[in-house]
């Protein structure tokens, strides 16, 4: 399954989500390919320092991340697109149809992932935890779908 995580700038939330999902996938032997992109991302920027530190606290190296903009090609090769907010989802729905969900929605919850951009390290750490919790639930659904 090809999973695409989407946020605004691809400097914090979607790269953190992709990195966390990689870790969860390895721990749970899920057969997934994971990418991230931003609706308004530039090409080749780093993740924010705060996002890198938040991931480091979870034992995940995000220093390699380079931003990339969302493209039709990325959408077309995706089996599942998980966005950070309902607004992101609504922007993608006309292009992606029924494969786009918010992360929390896909895991059975509701609401948006908070945007830590411009905030302090504590906000990034909280957002990382929020993403992790939502992705644990999403991973259960992915595993269930793979088994059926």
* Catalytic positions, written as ranges: 7, 13, 115
Structural contact between residues 69 and 75, judged by C-beta atoms closer than 8 angstroms: no
Reduced to 3 states, what is the DSSP secondary structure of residue 71?
A: coil
Reduced to 3 states, what is the DSSP secondary structure of residue 11?
A: coil
Structural contact between residues 107 and 83, judged by C-beta atoms closer than 8 angstroms: no
């Amino acid at each position: 399954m090809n999973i695409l995580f989407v946020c605004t700038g691809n400097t914090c939330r979607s790269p953190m989500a992709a990195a966390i999902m990689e870790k969860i996938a390895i721990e749970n032997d899920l057969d997934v390919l994971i990418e991230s992109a931003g609706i308004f991302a530039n090409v080749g920027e780093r993740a924010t320092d705060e996002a890198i530190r938040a991931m480091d606290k979870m034992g995940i190296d995000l220093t390699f991340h380079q931003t990339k903009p969302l493209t039709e090609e990325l959408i077309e090769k995706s089996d599942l697109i998980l966005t950070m907010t309902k607004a992101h989802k609504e922007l993608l729905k006309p292009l992606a149809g029924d494969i786009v969900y918010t992360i929390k929605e896909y895991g059975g919850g509701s609401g948006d992932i908070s945007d830590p951009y411009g905030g302090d390290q504590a906000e990034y750490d909280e957002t990382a935890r929020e993403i992790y919790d939502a992705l644990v639930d999403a991973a259960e659904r992915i595993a269930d779908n793979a088994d059926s």
